[in-house]
Structure 1
Amino acid sequence: RVRTAQAAADREQKVAARSHAPAFDEVAEQVEGRLEREQVRRCLDSLTGLQRESVTLAYYRGYTYPEVAEVLGTPLGTVKTRMR
């Protein structure tokens, strides 16, 4: 009985150890998100106005490349070049 009880306790400990998730650090997540947003802003600021407008339409407003080309009145190839 002692060995059976010990084996059951060992199994429970193994299962508990495998299912243990690390603690979520909300403050660290907020800081990381803020730093990423600042980095994106700096990168956008380094683009030309035409490039920034194309990227903003595609990534922040959800337009496809052909839609961006139509909105801006430019050829699709030009939009693709600006996006690259």
Structure 2
Amino acid sequence: MSVRVMETSESLRRDAYLQELREDILLQTGIAPERLHFTSLLVLYNNVLQSLFQSQIMTLGAVFLAIGLMFWVLFRSSPSRC
């Protein structure tokens, strides 16, 4: 089976499209889920994007944590002059 996807479409949501396509194929053909495998650049690109989003979120969280710890140490150790 072959499927073409217009990659330049602004409304393309790769992950949702792949999940919907998988569900439709399984429902309409009755194939066992373990026998259905997608292979294409669309799948590869989707996996890269998902990994990128996840790593960006983790990096942003680590940066905020480091900055928060830095401010905590900075203001905790400074003598108060009231």
Structure 2 length-normalised TM = 0.36
Structure (1 or 2) with the larger CA radius of gyration: 1
Structure with bigger helix share is 1
Structure possessing the higher relative contact order (Cα contacts under 8 Å, 6 or more residues apart): 2
